[in-house]
Amino acid sequence: MNPTLIKKPPRTESERILQHREHEKEYMKRHKTVCVTLSKEKDSDILAWLETKENKSDAVRQALRASLRREGTSWREFHINEIAARKKRQEEEC
């Protein structure tokens, strides 16, 4: 095993912060963050459902995939349809 690949534990607070920032950068390279705003009034059912879930991200992913399967839509088809709709909107604006 290559000893240069072994991460040493941080000795100082500044080393710990730097290691944490490096870890965050690597995490963000592999993931995409999506933020959704829900209304307490209009979306109270969704908020109540989410409160029952320990892992909210996983619950939302599973619900979205299940919905797409029920509709018979693959992610690829969904993406293609979204691109076509966006292009149509842009053409209508011109």
94 is written with which tokens?
């011109």
* C-alpha separations of 28 from 10, 31, 71 in Å: 22, 5, 31
- pLDDT tens-digit profile of 21-30? 998 888 888 8
- Taking the whole predicted model, whether its pTM rises above 0.85 is answered as no
Per residue in 40-94, pLDDT tens?
999 999 999 999 999 999 999 999 888 888 877 676 777 788 888 888 888 888 7
Tokens 């240069």 belong to residue = 4
pLDDT reported for residue 58: 95
Q: Which positions ≥6 away from 18 have C-beta within 8 Å?
A: 10
